[in-house]
């Protein structure tokens, strides 16, 4: 069971996530010889307040 996990900030539409899942599936079929029925794509979304980089939470960053 191949699986691809996508972690990103929230805010994308359902249509954007649908297209992303399709593109990932197509790439895995082409490049990894995966069978589409066996491939799982999981999208985990985070709010800025639940993600930190270099010890600084998203809402406190000046570069976002």
The 10s digit of each residue's pLDDT in 23-58 is 999 999 999 999 999 999 999 999 999 999 999 999
Which residues fall within 8 angstroms of residue 19, CB to CB, at 6 or more apart?
none
Name the token pair of 51.
């993600």
For residue 7, the model assigns a pLDDT of: 98
For residue 1, the model assigns a pLDDT of: 86
> Does the structure show a pLDDT above 80 at 64?
no
Q: Please name which of 5, 16, 13 lies closest in space to residue 43, comparing C-alpha atoms.
A: 5
From the list 2, 32, 45, 56, the catalytic residue is 2
Q: Please name which of 53, 41, 44 lies closest in space to residue 9, comparing C-alpha atoms.
A: 44
Q: Is 2 one of the annotated active-site residues of the chain?
A: yes
Query: CB–CB of 34/4 below 8 Å?
Result: no
């Amino acid at each position: 069971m191949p699986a691809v996990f996508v972690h990103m900030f929230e805010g994308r539409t359902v249509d954007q996530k649908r297209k992303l899942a399709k593109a990932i599936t197509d790439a895995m079929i082409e490049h990894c010889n995966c069978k589409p029925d066996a491939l799982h794509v999981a999208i985990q979304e985070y709010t800025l307040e639940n993600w930190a980089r270099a010890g600084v939470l998203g809402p406190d960053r000046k570069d976002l």
